[in-house]
């Protein structure tokens, strides 16, 4: 029921977005006139994705919201900015840094340059951590869309988006680990299809279990518990006889 409700909400959101007319947007006169001359009236007219693909992409973005990825990333960015400013306040007025760059006393401009040089390695390490976290979040959002909507539609939409953005399908693993904030398309496709297989297996198992009478499901439990129950009953009978003899 939750999946059906979620799908209906996504389709309703898709229809609202695709039905927005360009008159309602804050476009320049030149952009508006170019769109009208080309025969485009609504947003849906210029989108190449099908309805199922757009809804799947929307489900991916809803997954980011449901998993609180945006809020977590914003908090991490605020903390990172605070740490940078705190370190900058410690280093900017150090005479040794200014003198290392040729100054004869503490200078704000030389301190800023020195801090930028010293912070570069730390910035690269933080970038590696943030990119790894971002790739993990993308996998989670893909899993959300594959679970609550359709993984194959998401794959088709990602392929079209990748063609338009001219993204590299097979980047070097080290280059991807250092610079990519999103997993490569082939890795995402493999993961989505793996989740689709697990989803189909789960649905098949649930349908199979629904067809089996409940008595058959609990028969092994009764068979396994019967010897224990018999032994416990005999112990109670023996204890009762001993009590009566006393």
Catalytic residue annotation: 61
Q: Could you tell me the two tokens for 21? A: 């007319």
Of 178, 200, 163, the closest CA to residue 131 belongs to 178
**217 contact partners, CB below 8 Å, separation of at least 6:** 209
Q: Which of the 8 DSSP states describes residue 169?
A: S
Question: How many other CB atoms are found less than 10 A from the CB of residue 145?
Answer: 26
Of 14, 1, 130, the closest CA to residue 61 belongs to 14
CA 148 to chain centre: 13
Tokens 């960015």 — which residue? 77
- Exposed/middle/buried for 106, CB within 10 Å: 0-12, 13-18, 19+? middle
CB 56 within 8 A of CB 154: yes
Q: Alpha-carbon distance 213 to 200, whole Å?
A: 22
């Amino acid at each position: 029921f939750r999946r059906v409700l979620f799908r209906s909400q996504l389709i309703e959101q898709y229809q609202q977005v695709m039905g927005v007319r360009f008159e309602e947007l804050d476009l320049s006169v030149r952009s508006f006139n170019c769109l009208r001359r080309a025969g485009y009236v609504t947003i849906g007219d210029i989108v190449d994705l099908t309805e199922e693909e757009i809804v799947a992409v929307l489900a991916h973005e809803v997954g980011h919201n449901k998993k609180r990825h945006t809020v977590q990333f914003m908090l991490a960015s605020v903390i990172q900015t605070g740490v940078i400013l705190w370190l900058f306040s410690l280093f900017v007025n150090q005479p040794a840094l200014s003198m290392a760059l040729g100054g004869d006393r503490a200078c704000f401009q030389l301190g800023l340059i020195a801090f930028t040089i010293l912070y570069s390695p730390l910035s690269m390490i933080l970038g590696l951590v943030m990119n790894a976290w971002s790739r993990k979040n993308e996998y989670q959002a893909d899993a959300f869309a594959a679970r609550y909507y359709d993984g194959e539609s998401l794959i088709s939409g990602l392929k079209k988006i990748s063609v338009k953005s001219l993204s590299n399908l097979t980047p070097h693993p080290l280059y991807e680990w250092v610079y990519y904030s999103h997993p490569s398309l082939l890795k995402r496709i493999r993961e989505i299809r793996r989740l689709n297989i697990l989803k189909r297996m789960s649905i098949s198992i649930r349908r199979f279990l629904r067809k089996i009478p409940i008595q058959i499901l609990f028969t092994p439990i009764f068979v396994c518990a019967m010897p224990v129950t018999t032994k416990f009953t005999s112990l109670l009978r023996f204890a009762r006889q001993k009590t009566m003899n006393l």
